[in-house]
Amino acid sequence: MTDERIETLLAGMSPEEKAGQLTQYFYFKLPGEADPALGFDADEQPRAAEAALGRGGAGALLFVTDPAEVNRLQRLAIDGNPQGIPVLFGFDVIHGLRTIFPVPIAMAASWDPETIERGQTIAGREARAVGIHWTFAPMVDITRDPRWGRIIEGAGEDPFLGAAVAAAQVRGFQGGGIIAGPKHFAGYGASLGGRDYDEANISEYELWNTYLPPFQAAVEAGAGNIMTAYMDLNGIPASGSHWLLTKVLRDTWGFTGFVVSDANAVKNLQTHGFAADPADAAARAVTAGVDLEMAFSEPAYDHLPAVPAARDAVEVSVRRILEAKLRLGLLDEPFVDEDRAREVLADPEHRAVAREAARRSAVLLKNDGDLLPLDPGAFGSIAVLGPLADSRRDTLGPWVFDFDLAETVTVLEGIRRATGAEVAYAQGVPVTQREFPSMFDQFGGNRPEDPEGFDADAEFARAVALAESSDVAIVVLGEHQNMIGEAASRSSLDLPGRQLELLRAVAATGTPTVLLLMNGRPLDLRWPAEHVPAIMDIWYPGSQGGNAVADLLFGAASPGGKLPFTWPRTVGQVPIHYGHTRSHEPQNQGRRYWDEASTPLFPFGHGLSYGRFAYENLFVSADTVAPDAEVTVSVDVTNTGARPAPEVVQLYLHQRHGRASRPVRELKGFSRVELAPGETRRVAFTIGPQQRRYWHAAVRDWVLDTTTFDVWVGGSSAAELATTFEVRDV
Ligand code: GLC
């Protein structure tokens, strides 16, 4: 029945209608007037898209989130083509639609696939309820360069963590009823210099061992879509790469869904200097494996009917798009229930899950003297300082559009609700603007502004005086949400503006000081790490952020997140990651520069809690195994502290010798546990060929060596409890 129905539709379609099915139009119906200077004229897109719908020239739309609009446009679409084929509605549901979850890098920092899946299931439910069928997420690009703004959208530097997070998100979105679209395939996170959109030159060794595994995990989790990447990969635009989009994705991994280009990336094959003209771009993209062209206007795929050589590829792609629509039930029920949408978006359970996710994502970087948690009764007066402390828009982070600002809880509001102490606020420093406006500022973003009549010196003095006169100072610092994300790369990791100056002045008052970071990339914390007793990374914690942060500050919950990236001391160390090889002088790994230590400020996997954890009785099920056999590694973890707390138990492997120099450590297992004071849990990991193999640069295939493996288990990549096992041909 499935094929018959699709074949019947196909048989009745003209070449123009087939090309139309392979075209996705932006539909920027923006509140108020967009800024044409930013290139988005609020009316140009809707006009082009509706004209295309009327002539059966569009198979999908994006950026429509209002159910009534979805139904109106769907009616236009169905009436606009003889077969009555409905359109797919796609959108960037990255970390929530109405209920906003912590940003993806924060969710990754929870090291908690179940919570990640639960969050994306809710996002999927809310999206499907308003008529969105498909999300351009998860973003699964590995990166080791925090200058790159899109670090915030991924799961950090590690392929093993990245693969687990990718699979959890795909399960979540698709469990929530929408197609997941992992992106950007592939290698985008290695853009030269961290400069967004610049080329990525990646060896096959790094592609197969580092950048591709999260995509493979997403495909194996059943992702129904993949989005291509903008940049040149080894000289070939990823959006025109037959090797990536067909040989790897389909021939090697068996992907059966559909591929969409990133925005305008098909037409831009000409801009790259790869295609000669739009018709050439269209023909090469569709034969490389780009099924659907995401376009602003005048799609390149309109040229396909005039390119006979692309006819077979077009047929295959149209079939994939129709299969997706059939699987979603759109051919039978293309419209959305507008009343149900309101009910789903208002579900209080969604807010509760978002609050729990924000609790689990925070990373306690430092807590000297157990300053945290604060005893709500012990502090009569609390100073809350910094412009991010009371910014609802920044609390949500980037890549959100359909949010409800009024219901967003800032850090200041969360603290005020959680304590009877006197809580006073001071912005302290001027808001810092980006030099160039963010392309997303027009989407109800915020060009943060200082209040009317703001006097920088007076405000600075007022904030410091407030700190001096309070029992504790909580300083919220970081980057505004438009300083990170797409087209938001930086050449520095400094705290923007006068924030560090404020922190130094507050610390100098002698009032116990807590630094809370609102960020999506590691920032230069060399001074705070030396002089501020407690530092917690709260990321952009989402709709319930302030409540979750207050839960953590006052001990209703313990932080337990772990860093998904290596935290550099300075931007001069970048790129930096923990999984490097030994070199011939491993003993000097920390002194590779003469002007700065080359060790990280905080290691990958680092994060404290309000518990204390002891690791004992590390055991391997066999001293020696055959290359195709598994070993089980188990360990006792005990909370020797006085408070219940979470711990992420991590397992790292190192291959001592073989056909290649292997990383000093590689994450090959993790498990998040919650332990009561005094409680011991035995945690076990299975290490088989899948965890021990690696792709070999000369063999150009996956290999397994007979060798000796070091095993470490602990609470970060600096874990010390160790053992070994042998792999031998027995
Ligand atoms: C953007 C991004 C991509 C996003 C798409 C649609 O430029 O690169 O991640 O999904 O366009 O908004």
Mind listing the pLDDT tens digit for each residue in 72-119?
999 999 999 999 999 999 999 999 999 999 999 999 999 999 999 999
Expressed in angstroms and rounded, the spacing between residue 261 Cα and the centre of ligand 1 is: 9
With bands split at pLDDT 50, 70 and 90, how would you rate the model's confidence at 704? very high
Of 359, 348, 354, 353, the C-alpha closest to 674 is: 359
Three-state DSSP at 609 gives: coil
pLDDT digits (tens, 9 = 90+) for 672-703: 999 999 999 999 999 999 999 999 999 999 99
Atom of ligand 1 nearest to the CA of 92: 10
With bands split at pLDDT 50, 70 and 90, how would you rate the model's confidence at 436? confident
May I ask the CATH class of domain 2-342? alpha beta
Q: Where are the domains of the chain?
A: 2-342, 362-566, 613-727
613-727 CATH fold: Immunoglobulin-like (2.60.40)
Atom of ligand 1 nearest to the CA of 139: 9
Average pLDDT for the chain: 96
CA-proximal residue: ligand 1, atom 1 (nearest): 263
Percentage of the chain with pLDDT > 70?
Answer: 97
Expressed in angstroms and rounded, the spacing between residue 169 Cα and the centre of ligand 1 is: 18
Ligand 1 binding pocket mutation candidate from 262, 266, 268, 438 (most atoms within 8 A of CB): 262
Atom of ligand 1 nearest to the CA of 230: 8
CB atoms within 10 A of CB 609: 26
Residue 178 has pLDDT above 60, yes or no: yes
Ligand 1 interacting residues, C-beta cut-off 6 A: 92, 136, 183, 262-263, 486
pLDDT digits (tens, 9 = 90+) for 499-555: 999 999 999 999 999 999 999 999 999 999 999 999 999 999 999 999 999 999 999
Expressed in angstroms and rounded, the spacing between residue 337 Cα and the centre of ligand 1 is: 27
State the DSSP code for 245: I
The distance of Cα 376 from the centroid of its chain, to the nearest Å, equals 34
**pLDDT of amino acid 541:** 98
Expressed in angstroms and rounded, the spacing between residue 263 Cα and the centre of ligand 1 is: 6
**pLDDT of amino acid 34:** 60
**pLDDT of amino acid 314:** 98
Residue 2 has pLDDT above 60, yes or no: no
CA-proximal residue: ligand 1, atom 3 (nearest): 262
CA-proximal residue: ligand 1, atom 12 (nearest): 92
**pLDDT of amino acid 348:** 96
Residue 180 has pLDDT above 80, yes or no: yes
Expressed in angstroms and rounded, the spacing between residue 430 Cα and the centre of ligand 1 is: 31
Average pLDDT over residues 393-409: 95
Report yes or no: 176 and 127 within 8 Å, Cβ to Cβ: yes
With bands split at pLDDT 50, 70 and 90, how would you rate the model's confidence at 448? confident
For the ranges 257-266, 436-445, 521-530, the lowest mean pLDDT is seen at 436-445
> Which stretches within 644-725 are classed as H helix?
689-692
Average pLDDT over residues 703-710: 98
CA-proximal residue: ligand 1, atom 7 (nearest): 263
Atom of ligand 1 nearest to the CA of 183: 9
Phi/psi at 632 (5° precision): -110, 130
pLDDT digits (tens, 9 = 90+) for 552-595: 999 999 999 999 999 999 999 999 999 999 999 999 999 999 99
Ligand 1 binding pocket mutation candidate from 28, 136, 268 (most atoms within 8 A of CB): 136
**pLDDT of amino acid 487:** 95
**pLDDT of amino acid 40:** 61
362-566 CATH fold: Rossmann fold (3.40.50)
Active centre residues (catalytic): 262
The distance of Cα 573 from the centroid of its chain, to the nearest Å, equals 23
Cβ-based neighbours of 389, under 8 Å, separated by 6 or more: 410, 411, 412, 425, 474, 475, 476, 516
Residue 1 has pLDDT above 60, yes or no: no
**pLDDT of amino acid 157:** 98
CA-proximal residue: ligand 1, atom 6 (nearest): 263
Of 387, 451, 419, 344, the C-alpha closest to 121 is: 344
N- to C-terminal Cα separation, the chain: 52
CB atoms within 10 A of CB 724: 12
CA-proximal residue: ligand 1, atom 8 (nearest): 262
The distance of Cα 447 from the centroid of its chain, to the nearest Å, equals 23
Percentage of the chain with pLDDT > 90?
Answer: 93
Expressed in angstroms and rounded, the spacing between residue 399 Cα and the centre of ligand 1 is: 10
